[in-house]
Amino acid sequence: MASDPEPGPARTLSSRPFLALLLMQSAFGLALSTFLLLPKVLSASFGAGALAIGVVTAALGVAGVAVVPLLGTQIDRHGARAPILLGNLLMAASAFGFVLVEDAGPLAVLLRGLQGAAWTMVFNAGMTMTAALAPPGRLAQAIGVYGSANLVTNAIAPALAEPLIERLGHRPVFAGAGAMALVAWALARRLDPTRPMATGAPQARFAVLLSDRRYQALATVAVVAGVAFGVMFTFTQPFALQVGIGRVRSFFIGYTAGALAVRLGAGRLLDRMGHGRAVIGALAMYGAVVAATALLAPGLLGLLGCLFGLAHGAFMPAALALAISWADAAARPRALALMNGAMVAGAAFVPAVGAAADSWGYPSVFVTLGAATFATMLLVPSSRSRSA
């Protein structure tokens, strides 16, 4: 049976296939972003400490990385729509499952792991579609717009969910997230399938990428940035409760506003200034904001979220575009999967940071991790670097 044709590049970012993809990603993002409040629920409702919260959080990253090789094989053989459909079903099942969670124990770890697998499937496969649909010369901008479809839900979902959790409890809110994931699944059925992207042994192609020193260095940078991202989204919430900030949604609203400002307002600038230079500048800001979080006090949470959003909003599209620029068309799905997988893998280190926070306090870990993130600027290969 012949495979479905792959959609070709669009002339604009308002093509019907791309808009359909954005709508699906937005619905999935609303479901997933509801669980940005999970650390607060675990801390406030179940009395979980930093280590326990970190273990639950890490499950998302571990499971997300574990499915990357399988995801690449699926996209190669059957196209990108199938993993998007499966990922949305996994998201729905995990959200409904959280209705039964009573503590930060094995069930919470398992369900958060399912969400990590779902995230990797939906976002990476959607990114593959984005790369295929991007107009010539506007790849970083297209990646930024696609990421923005998820980013905006980082503000909307917590802003809606936090007051509902205060009134109704977390169980009906998490059930609502499951229902939204089913909506995303229905929307995914309307997506245009992409044809298989490459042929040959998937593991061999990953090995080729990982033998390239540019990808080794950039993946290392992405892992460290992933640790910082996971720590900011996990431990700003219990830290905020410690310093007397009862509601945390201002962080997510600020983060979303900052990231969207970059991705929608400066996407073309990232392409023009050079992706390597853009990554370096973003990392400098990334590290500075993480370290500054040690000074968190009432009234500052939204500002820190906004600054962190500016940093991350520039870093991800620039880093992904840099990785793609080194790959031929057949290897692009692998390059995207590698970079997203490296970023998600950083979450696996969050429990270690949580243990350190239990011993040394949150300010110490924010300063240390901020300095480490800042230092990764030295590892970024230039756009013109060649494979060793």
Q: Please indicate, yes or no, if residue 288 is contained in any of the structural domains.
A: yes
Q: CATH number for the domain including 373? A: 1.20.1250.20
Please state the domain count of the chain.
1
Domain that holds residue 358: 16-379
| pLDDT greater at residue 151 or residue 168 | 168
**Does 5 map to a domain?**
no
Q: What is the 3-state secondary structure (H, E, C) of the chain?
A: CCCCCCCCCCCCCCCHHHHHHHHHHHHHHHHHHHHHHHHHHHHHHHCCCHHHHHHHHHHHHHHHHHCHHHHHHHHHHHCCHHHHHHHHHHHHHHHHHHHHCCCCCHHHHHHHHHHHHHHHHHHHHHHHHHHHHCCCCCHHHHHHHHHHHHHHHHHHHHHHHHHHHHHHCHHHHHHHHHHHHHHHHHHHCCCCCCCCCCCCCHHHHHHHHHCCHHHHHHHHHHHHHHHHHHHHHHHHHHHHHHCCCCCCHHHHHHHHHHHHHHHHHCHHHHHHHCHHHHHHHHHHHHHHHHHHHHHCCCCCHHHHHHHHHHHHHHHHHHHHHHHHHCCCHHHHHHHHHHHHHHHHHHHHHHHHHHHHHHHHCHHHHHHHHHHHHHHHHHHCCCCCCCCC
Question: Computed over its alpha carbons, how large is the radius of gyration of the chain?
Answer: 19
Determine which of 16-30, 187-201, 211-225 has the lowest per-residue pLDDT on average: 187-201
Is 334 a domain residue? yes
As a whole number, the mean pLDDT across the chain is 84
End-to-end, the C-alpha distance of the chain in Å comes to 41
* Band of residue 268 on the pLDDT scale cut at 50, 70, 90: low
Lowest-pLDDT range, 139-148, 184-193, 240-249, 373-382? Answer: 139-148
Two structure tokens written together for 22: 């954005």
Confidence of residue 2 (pLDDT cuts 50, 70, 90): very low
> 165 in a domain, yes or no?
yes
**Average pLDDT of span 193-217:** 65
The yes-or-no verdict on residue 135 having pLDDT over 80 is: no
Give 295-316 pLDDT, tens digit per residue: 999 999 999 999 999 999 889 8
Domain membership of residue 163 (yes or no) is: yes
pLDDT band at 194 (very low <50, low <70, confident <90, very high): low
137 dihedral zone (left: phi>0; alpha: psi -120 to 50; beta): left
Q: Encoding tokens for residue 86?
A: 């499966």
4 part of a folded domain: no
Domain contains 1: no
CA 50 to chain centre: 21
- Mean pLDDT computed over 36-53: 90
Does 9 map to a domain?
A: no
- Rounded CA separation 305/255 (Å): 4
Which of the four pLDDT bands, split at 50, 70 and 90, describes residue 386? low
* Residue-level pLDDT at 236: 93
CA angle 281, 287, 67 (to 5 degrees): 90
Q: What is the pLDDT of residue 74?
A: 72
Nearest alpha carbon to residue 13 among 372, 317, 337:
317
Give the pLDDT of residue 65.
80
